[in-house]
Amino acid sequence: MKTNAKKSIMNLAPVFGLIVLVAAFLIVGHMKGINISYGLKSVINQSVVVAVVATGAVFIYTLGSFDISLGASVAVSAILGGMVYIKTGNLLLMFATCIGVAVLVALTNSVLASIFNLPVFVTTIAMLSVLNAMVLLLIGINGTGSEISVPSDAVAHLDNIPFKVAVLALYILACVFIFNFTPIGRKEKFLGGNPLCAQLTGISIKKYSIIAFIISGIGVGLGAFLSIVYAPTLTRSTASSVGMDVIIAIVFGGMPVSGGARSKIYAALIGAFSMTFLSQIMTLFNLNSGIGQIVKAAIFILVVFIAASNHRQKELPR
Amino acid sequence: MKKVLSLLLCIALCFTMLVGCGGTTNGDKDSDTKAETQAETQAETQAAETKEADVATEADVETEADNGIDMSETVKIGVLVADVTTAEALAFRSYYTQYIQNQYNVEFVYSDALKDSADEKSAIDTFITNNCKAIISFSSFDRMAQIDQCAKAKVYYAVATGTLTDEEYEKVKTNEYYVGAIGPSLDIEYQTGYDMAKYYLDKGVKNFAIFGGAVPYYTDMHIYRVAGMLAAMADATGADYQGAKGPAIVGKIYETADVKTGSIGDVNILGYVGGYDMDDAWFGKIAEVAQTSGLEMILAVGNGSDFFGTAVNGTDVKIASVDAYADSYGAAMDAGILDYMAGKFSASIGPIFAITYSAALGAPIRDNDGNAVALGQGYWVATSPEQFKEYYSVDNSLDAPAYDKADLDTLIGSDYATLEKFVAAYTFDEIK
C-alpha cells in the first residue's frame, strides 16, 4: 500500500513540479509586481508549439526511438506553407501544406527505416541534414533570400490564445484517445517495452513505427502552422530550437527515454509548460543567460531524478 | 539510503545555486557584473573599475533631471540581444549594466540569445510581463513585428547600433512608441568598407582577400561593407566589379549573396570566404585563402583576426576588420596581425539609451516633423597599436566612458537639434 502510494507520487512528480513552478511564478511575480495575466498569456504563446510537436513525438518515444529532425521538419513545413500562402493567398492551403509536408517528411523517415532495416533514429539524423539544407535552399530561392514573410495581417486574427489553446486541446485529446484507448497506443507501449516479445506476438514494428511517425507528423504540421501564426517572418533560424526543446520537454515531463509501458502522453504538455514557467521565473530574478541556463539545468536534473527514481533499475534488459 | 542521500545532494546543489544567483535587485547587479567581468576576461584595470562601479548605490542616483523631469521611479528597460557572447555584445552589456544602471534609476532586463523572430516575440512578451516601459533592440530578425508588438502594448521601442531601411522607417516614423534608431546607417557601412579598402589601395596594396561574414545570409550591413570595399577598388583602378561601379555594386552582391574573385583593374581579389559555418571545411577554406601566394591584405567585414589570425601568423599578410574595441583585437594589433580596426565603441549606445529613457519618462524626442529619430553614427578607426590602446582604454573605462552621465544628461528631455549635433560628433577626438 505504502509502496503504491510512493509510486503514484513519484509518477506524478513532473505534475507536482509544474504546480510548484506555477506557484513560484505567481508568488514571485506578485512580489515583483509583474503583469501576471499578460505573463500567463505569454507562457501559453511560448509553450504551444513545443507542446503540440512534443505530444506527437511521444508516440515515437514510446517505441523507444527518437526523432532528431523534428525542429527542422517544423521549419521546412512552415517555410513551404508560407511560400504557398504568398503564391495563393489561401490560408487553408497554407495549413494543408504545413500538415502535408510534415507528414510526408515523417513518412519518409519511417519508410526509409523500414526499407533499409535501420533504426528509425538513424534515418532522422540523415533527414536532419537534408531538411537543414532545404531550409537554406527554400529561403535562398524566395524574395530577398534572407526571409519569407507571410503578411502579418493574414494571420493576425489567429494569433490569439483561444485559437491556440483550441488547436492544442483538440490535438492532445485526439492523441490521448489513440494512446490510451485504442490498440495503437497499447501495442506501441508493448513494442517500446519489449520489442522482441511484441514481434513474437505478431505486432509489426514497421507498421506501428509508420503510424507513430504519421501522428507525430501531424503534430509537426500543426506546430509549423502555429509558428507562422505567432511569427510570420520565417528565416533560416526558424524553429531551430524546437528540436532540442521537444526532447527536453518530453524528458522534463516524466517520459522514460526508453519508452514502453511507462510512457505518458501528458508528459509533453507538462514538460513544455514547465520549461516555459522556469524560463519566466529566471527572468523574474533577472539572471543573466549563462547563470539562468545552469539553474535551469540543475532543476531539470532534479525533476528528472525524482521522476526516474521510481523505476530506475527495474527496466527489462533491452 | 543511497537514493535519499543523492536526492538530498541534488536539492542542496539547486539550493546553493539559487541562493548564489538570487537576491535583491542590487544583488542582481552584482552577479551580472561578476559574470560579465569573467566572461570578458578583461585586464585588472577593468576589474578595478568594475569594483568601483559596484560601490555605487541607488542613493547616488538622481531622482530629478536638471530640466525638472521626474526620475524618481525606477524604469525597467528590456534589451533584446541576438548574440549574447560576442565581444561587442559583452562590451555593450557592460556599459549598460555596470555604468548606466549605476548612474540612472533604471534596471536593464536582458533577453537570452535569440535565434529567430519567434524568439524576439517571446522575449518582448517576457519584457512586457515584467513591466518594462521600453525596449532597446540589438536584434533584427523582424524589426517591424517588434515595433508593432511594442506599440500594441504601449511600450517604447528603439533600435541600437543600426538603423531601419528607408522603407521600414517610412512605415513607422509616426508611431509614437517607436523612439528611433541611432547607429551606423547602411550608407555609413558602405563608407566604412570603402575607407578600409582605400586606405590600403593608397598604400599600393594590390592583392586582397575578402571575408564577407554574413553576406551569404543577405545581412544588409555586411553586404554594404563589402560593396564599399569593391567600390573603392573599382574607383582606384577605373575598372568595375561585374559591370557595376559605386553603390550599384550593392545590387550585384544581392543578386548572388557572394563575391566573385578575380581582378578589378590591376587589383586582385585572390580569395573570398563568406558565412559562419564554423566547420572543418570552412576553417580549411579560411586557411587556404590566408595562405594564397602573393596575398597581402585580408579585408574583413567582422571578426577578421578571430578567424584568420592563426592562419596568417608569421606571414606578411595583414588583416583589416570591422568590429568593436575588444581585448582580443588589441592583442592581434600588438602581434602585428591586425593592422586596421573600424570599431564600434561601447558607449555609442549611450544616446539611444538617453532618448529611450527620456521617452519612458514622458519627454520623447522627435524630429522637427514629429517623426522618430533616425541618426547615423560611425566607427572609431585605429591603424596602429598605440591608437588602438588609446581608444580601448576609453572604451572600456567604467569611470569615464566615452559618453558619461554628464554627456547623457544633456540629452534627456532635450530637443532634436541638440541630439543631432551630439550624435554627429562621434569621432574619438570630438568626444574627448
Q: Tens of pLDDT along A238-288?
A: 888 888 889 888 888 888 877 888 888 888 999 999 989 988 888 888 766
Mean pLDDT calculated for residue range A90-109:
95
CATH among 1.10.3470, 1.25.40, 2.60.40, 3.40.720 for A15-309: 1.10.3470
Q: Which of B11, B130, B150 to mutate to test the interface with A (most CBs of A within 10 A)?
A: B130
Mean pLDDT calculated for residue range B103-117:
89
State yes or no: pLDDT of B397 exceeds 90: no
Concatenating the DSSP letter of every residue in B334-388 gives HTTSEEEEEEE-GGGGHHHHHHHHHHHTT-----TTSPPEEEE---EEE-SHHHH
B3 vs A313: CA distance, rounded Å: 12
**What mean pLDDT is reported for chain B?**
83
A106 vs B384: CA distance, rounded Å: 57
Interior CA angle at A282 toward A279 and A284, to 5°? 115
In this prediction, residue A2 carries a pLDDT of 58
Cβ of B257 under 8 Å from any chain A Cβ? Answer: yes
State yes or no: pLDDT of B64 exceeds 70: no
How far B407 CA lies from chain A's nearest CA (Å)?
28
How far B46 CA lies from chain A's nearest CA (Å)?
20
C-alpha cell of residue A275? 520549461
Reported ipTM: the value is 0.80
What is the percent of chain B with per-residue pLDDT over 70, rounded to a whole number?
A: 84
At residue B245, the 3 state secondary structure works out as: coil
Cβ of B121 under 8 Å from any chain A Cβ? Answer: yes
Mean pLDDT calculated for residue range B194-210:
95
Structural domains of chain B in order of their starting residue, each with its CATH number: 29-185+346-377+400-431 (3.40.50.2300), 187-344 (3.40.50.2300)
State yes or no: pLDDT of B170 exceeds 90: yes
Report the Cα B114 to chain-centroid distance in Å.
15
Domain extents in chain A: 15-309
Q: B256 falls in which pLDDT band (50, 70, 90)?
A: confident
* Poorest-pLDDT segment among A2-16, A38-52, A85-99, B408-422: A2-16
In this prediction, residue A104 carries a pLDDT of 95
Which residues make Cβ contacts (< 8 Å) with residue B300, sequence separation at least 6? B210, B211, B213, B307, B308, B319, B320, B321, B322
A281: amino acid identity, one letter? I
At residue B196, the 3 state secondary structure works out as: helix
Mean pLDDT calculated for residue range A192-219:
89
B299 vs B230: CA distance, rounded Å: 10
Which residues make Cβ contacts (< 8 Å) with residue B56, sequence separation at least 6? B102, B103
Which residues make Cβ contacts (< 8 Å) with residue A173, sequence separation at least 6? none
State yes or no: pLDDT of B197 exceeds 70: yes
Q: Are B357 and B405 in contact (CB under 8 A)?
A: no
Q: Are A311 and A262 in contact (CB under 8 A)?
A: yes
Model confidence over A290-305: pLDDT tens digits? 677 787 778 777 777 7
State yes or no: pLDDT of A217 exceeds 90: yes
Of B28, B128, B257, the CB nearest to A285: B28
At residue B168, the 3 state secondary structure works out as: helix
In this prediction, residue B360 carries a pLDDT of 95
In chain A, residues with a C-beta closer than 8 Å to the C-beta of B119 are 241
Q: A184 falls in which pLDDT band (50, 70, 90)?
A: very high
* Poorest-pLDDT segment among A124-128, A155-159, A160-164, B428-432: B428-432
C-alpha cell of residue A190? 508493448
Q: Are B426 and B347 in contact (CB under 8 A)?
A: no
B9 vs B318: CA distance, rounded Å: 54
